[in-house]
Chain A
Amino acid sequence: MSRKRVWKTSSIVSMVLAVGLVVMAILVNTTSLSQQTWLRVLFGVSALNFALRATVPLVLGALSGILCERSGIINIGIEGMMLAGAFAGFVVKVATNSWPLGMSLMAGVLAAVLIGGVMGLLHATLSIRYRMDQIISGTIIIILAAGFTAYLFDRDAVAEGKFVAMPIPGLSKIPVLGEVLFNNPPLTYLALILVVVLHVALFHTRWGLRTRACGEHPRAADTVGINVNRYRYMNTTLGGMMAGLAGGFLVLEAVGQFQEGMTAGRGFISLAAMIFGNWMPFGALGASALFGYTQALQNELLLAGVVNVPRHFISMLPYVVTIVAVSGFVGRVRPPAAEGKVYETESSA
């Protein structure tokens, strides 16, 4: 099957699923169907809210992966970039506790994004300048971030306050949908906006065309005068910033504190979301939403206690779904053709 047709079919399927979800959600939360525990677990407002919260770091991570891989750099270090971002956000938030809350949180976000960018730049340098295997370079990013954050983490530090919901006037009054979609803290909106921005940038700007050229056929891109490695440096750094933002979200919006290893595999799940979403921003959003929803389901099942299965098995759900999704779709999606390969210009080779 061609890439385009697969994309069309899966878009239609996800549209149908999304519409079904919305209809069910409205029915369950506004009628007497809410008496049914199972329906509440699947479609309750709290489940959907949780799903969206779980989706945000995944989609940001997936966008990070798309940015890097569309230009030809594989980034399995998203997990480490996220963790570093989370830590930097936490440290700066703690240091600025005395500032007004909004300012302090903004400073935290800025720090998270910056350190993510630094990690991205490091990944790019190792894999372009020093021609390191990109998967190994990504692994180094992960270990480095885990080591540094554990070494520097002051367990007594407390970040005071986190982002609170900013209801969008008017829209947030819509029953069910408004509660879920238009009554969120700022980084959630930002993540959703970034999906649209990246889509437009990738497919409707010169930058996007050139980025994709670097990822698909760097020799051709080079021939028409595009500086392939400069694009790769730039995109990997931007990708790092995106992953850093995901970390910032975890600390400054979702949890409010830093914990060692708090990314808990989200960076890897977002890689799966990127693959599952066929290296497209909206695809990544859909896949992330699916994974986020599984996490919510896991949480709601545990809370409701409706199934008599040990909690350990319920907690496996997001990971197993990831494996199934990646197994079912990898053969049918196509990564950028030149990713993972060092590009050498004629003169340097």
Chain B
Amino acid sequence: MNGDASPIVRLMRALLIPVLALIMALLLGAVIMLVFGDDPVKAYRGLLYGAFGSGRGWATTVRKMAPFILTGLSVATAFKAGLFNIGAAGQFLMGTIFSVFVGINFQGLPVFIHLPLALLAGLLGGMLWGAIPGLLKVTTGAHEVITTIMLNYVASLFAGWTVYAGGSQGQTPGPLWDPTAGPISETPDVLPSAQLPWIFGPPYRVHWGIVLVLAVVVLIWWLLYRTTIGFEIRTVGQNLKASKYAGIRVNWTIVLTMILAGGLAGLAGGIETLGVNHKFAPEFSGSVGFDGITIALLGQTHPFGVVLAALLFGALDAGGAKMQFDSGVAADIIQVIQALILAFVAAPAIVRSIFRLKRTPEQVKPTVSTSWSGPG
């Protein structure tokens, strides 16, 4: 339709709604803070300074980007096939556990074998956890929204068990628990041969994982837009019936997409563990799951858009602690702002009516399967 528009014009168009959505969410966030007696100016200054005000701020922002990119990419890839993957949190955890398992075992392997093996294990853990809802959907019609959420809880309990320190009444400790940690439930550190090397060491702590992640982004972009599989994934997402008539193996594509999505989230878990934490303890998991959804939508489900959205989320995360410290505003307000961003991005009609924009023909709406019935 807009074939003659130059790439720059197209890029500007694609960025317009997300940027306006961000501005509106920040403004509304400020209003909310005012209503509840917080100082938004101080809060946002702290946020900005914490994220970009110093070398360490930048380093934290970039470090936090890595898992956000991959979980966002996981959700975005599933969206492409019309699947709603709320299970990134569980897939992330399974990836973490698998990576840690390889990372703390196999003493004596050289780095160039041990590290890739540990990363692959993370990928595999996530793939496994993504395959289950995919298979359930095509064989029984169970909707992935419910199965992935339930699997999140199962994964969280499973992960908790693997590092369980055992109870005071002599319950058996989990298989990955570090006996030297005493009553604390955590794994030992992964061996140095399985750790991602630093680009900038402490105190900056930026590791090579971020470069790896960017390579994965390009790979996924290539897969989605330059290969037959990617074409099939996108066709299934846009029109299930038509893709069936066109001879696409719909069920296989759905399972494959869920495996891919799960693998991406699992790799996120692996990279985060091998790069930053170097071990697993249940309190590390955080809220990566729902963040992935917002990032995917804010990035308009495009791999490169996801990177930009993840930059924003990395900054929000990195600046949140500083904001709370400087201004006393609870960092939880950031989650409210994120929900607002999501609302404005997912309903461009609101943004357009406020800024009196004309409808641009290129807005691609993410399509989500919106009924509980099976894949048809």
Are B140 and A133 in contact, CB atoms less than 8 angstroms apart?
A: no
Q: Are A151 and B141 in contact (CB under 8 A)?
A: no
- Cross-interface CB contact of B347 among A126, A146, A316, cutoff 8 Å: A126
- Provide the residues of chain B in CB contact with A313, threshold 8 Å: 157, 161
Asked whether B36 is an interface residue with its Cβ less than 8 Å from the other chain, the reply is yes
Residue A18 CB within 8 A of the other chain: no
Bound CA span A275–B368, Å: 19
Partner of A74, one of B141, B158, B337, B371: B371
Residues on A with C-beta less than 8 A from B350 are: 130
Q: How far is the CA of A182 from the CA of B330 in the complex (A)?
A: 44
Q: Is the CB of A147 within 8 A of B338?
A: yes
CB distance from B318 to the nearest CB of A (A): 18
CA distance A134 to B347 in the complex (A): 11
Cβ of A327 and Cβ of B371 under 8 Å apart? no
Give the chain A neighbours of B172 by CB distance below 8 A: 310
Q: Is the CB of B339 within 8 A of A330?
A: no
Beta-carbon contact of B349 and A323 below 8 Å: no
Is there an interface contact between B373 and A330, defined as CB atoms closer than 8 Å? yes
Enumerate A150-176 residues with CB–CB distance to B below 8 Å. Answer: 150-152
Pick the interface stretch among B60-68, B111-119, B143-151, B244-252.
Answer: B143-151
Complex CA–CA separation, A151 to B149 (angstroms): 24
CA of A41 to CA of B312, assembled, Å: 51
CB of B335 within 8 A of CB of A147, answer yes
Residues of A within 8 A of B370 (CB): 74, 133-135, 339-341
The verdict on A340 contacting B371 (CB below 8 Å), with A132-B347, A133-B365, A140-B339 known, is: yes
CB-contacts of A221-244 with B (<8 A): none
Looking across the interface, which residue of chain A has its beta carbon closest to that of B294? A143
Q: CB distance B347 to A147 under 8 Å?
A: no
CB of B336 within 8 A of CB of A151, answer yes
A151→B334 CA distance, assembly (Å): 9
Q: How many B residues are at the interface, by size bracket?
A: 35 or more
Take A135-B84, A143-B342, A339-B371 as given contacts and tell me if A322 and B146 are in contact as well, using a CB distance cutoff of 8 Å: yes
How far is A133 from B346 in the complex, measured between Cα atoms in Å? 8
Is A312 within 8 A of B157, CB to CB? yes
A88 smallest CB distance to B (angstroms): 15
Contact (Cβ within 8 A) A268 B347: no
In the complex, what residue of chain A is closest to B174 when comparing beta carbons? Answer: A310
With A312-B157, A315-B157 as given contacts, are A143 and B146 in contact (CB-CB < 8 Å)? no
A residues in contact with B334, CB < 8 Å: 147
Q: Is the pair A133, B368 in contact by a Cβ cutoff of 8 Å?
A: yes
Distance from A253 Cβ to chain B, minimum over Cβ atoms (Å): 24
With contacts A319-B153, A340-B371 taken as known, whether A312 is within 8 angstroms of B336 at the C-beta atoms is no
**Given A315-B157, A316-B157, A151 and B335 contact (CB-CB distance below 8 Å):** yes
In the docked arrangement, what's the CA distance between A323 and B155, Å?
13
CB proximity of A349 to chain B, nearest CB, Å: 15
Question: A330 with B143: in contact, given A139-B342, A148-B336 (CB under 8 Å)?
Answer: yes
The digit string for A305-325, where 1 denotes a CB below 8 A from any CB of B, is: 000001111011001101100
Chain A positions within 8 Å of B136 at CB level: 323, 327
Chain B residues with Cβ under 8 A from A339's Cβ? 370-372
B276: interface (CB < 8 Å): no
User: In the complex, how many angstroms separate the beta carbon of B333 from the nearest chain A beta carbon?
Assistant: 5
Q: In the complex, what residues of B have CB within 8 A of residue A320's CB?
A: 150, 154
A87 to chain B, nearest CB (A): 12
Contact A131 B330 (CB under 8 A): no
Shortest CB–CB separation between residue A103 and chain B, in angstroms? 26
Contact, CB under 8 Å: A143 / B346: no
Q: Is A335 an interface residue (CB 8 A)?
A: yes
A323 near B141: Cβ-Cβ < 8 Å: no
Measured in the bound complex, the distance between the Cα atoms of B347 and A272 in whole Å is 27
Chain A, residue nearest B132 (CB): A323
Do residues A139 and B371 form an inter-chain contact, with CB atoms below 8 A? no
Q: Mark B281-305, 1 if CB is under 8 A from A, else 0.
A: 0000000001001100100000000
Contact at A334–B142, with CB atoms within 8 Å? no
Evaluate contact between B142 and A326: CB separation under 8 angstroms.
Answer: yes
Which residues between 103 and 153 of chain A lie within 8 Å of chain B, taking CB atoms? 126, 129-137, 139-140, 142-144, 146-148, 150-152
- Interface residue ranges of A274-331 to B (CB < 8 Å): 275, 310-313, 315-316, 319-320, 322-323, 326-328, 330-331
A109 to chain B, nearest CB (A): 24
CA distance A330 to B137 in the complex (A): 10
Contact check, B36 vs A152: say whether CB atoms are below 8 A apart: yes
Contact B290 A312 (CB under 8 A): no
B366 within 8 A of A: yes
Q: In the complex, what residue of chain B is closest to A334 when comparing beta carbons?
A: B373
A186 within 8 A of B: no
State A144–B204 Cα separation when bound (angstroms).
32
| Cβ contact of B372, chosen from A140, A275, A315, cutoff 8 A | A275
B368 CB contacts on chain A under 8 angstroms: 133, 135-136
Closest-CB distance, A143 to chain B (whole angstroms)? 4
Measured CA separation A320–B132 after assembly (Å): 12
Interface contact B157-A330, CB-CB below 8 Å: no
Instruction: Tell me the nearest residue of chain A to B340, going by C-beta.
Output: A144
Knowing that A322-B146, A327-B136 touch, tell me 8 more A-B residue pairs with CB under 8 angstroms: A143-B335, A144-B339, A150-B330, A265-B150, A310-B172, A316-B158, A330-B143, A330-B373
Q: Can you give 9 A-B contacts (C-beta < 8 A)?
A: A132-B343, A132-B346, A136-B293, A136-B297, A143-B335, A144-B336, A146-B335, A275-B143, A323-B151
4 interchain residue pairs of minimum CB distance: A147-B335, A340-B370, A312-B161, A150-B332
